[in-house]
Structure 1
Amino acid sequence: MTASIPVDPCLCPLCGQANACAMAASPAQISEPCWCTRVHFSTELLQKLPDAARGKACICQACAQQAATP
């Protein structure tokens, strides 16, 4: 039996850097919606996410911008 590695909602599941997710911050720190609610993530980018991180951790802005650059 393999143990699953916990997903840190504050880290990008693609690069491991801080994702600046407002929704992962403590409720007292949330002053506006997360930046990720205002951008579109391509299906191709979302398919790169590990299954364990889907719906649990945001992709960071750097990974989102890199994927959007042709």
Structure 2
Amino acid sequence: MPTDVELCPLCGQRNRCSQVDPTSNGEACWCFSAPISAAALARLSAEQIDKSCLCPNCAKGVAACGDEPKA
């Protein structure tokens, strides 16, 4: 069962964050080199910025990826 830090706050899907994956051995996360949609960032609350990891689809700004932020 995934924990909250493993889930995208926008859609609730796994975010594939290597920073919370104990098997990644500190590898850089996919998001460190990926462009993140400004619209997706705007949908995060102030408390979620720099503390929550988006999934790749939400980070790209895919329209079908979570219409409302998860509480």
Whether TM exceeds 0.5 here: the answer is yes
CA distance in 2, matches of 1:16, 1:52: 17
The alpha-carbon deviation at position 10 of structure 1 amounts to 0.8
Structure 2, unmatched stretches of 5+, are: 64-71
Equivalenced residue count is 59
Corresponding residue of 1:34: 29
Distance 1:18 1:54 in 2: 17
Q: Deviation at 1:37?
A: 0.6
Residue 20 of structure 1 aligns with an amino acid whose one-letter code is R
- Show structure 1 runs of 5+ residues with no match: 1-6
Q: Is the aligned partner of 1:17 residue 2:22?
A: no
Shift of 1:62: 1.7
1:43 pairs with 2:38: yes
Q: What is the aligned-residue RMSD (CA, Å)? A: 2.0
Code of the aligned partner of 1:17: Q
Structure 1 segments (4+ residues) deviating >3 Å: none
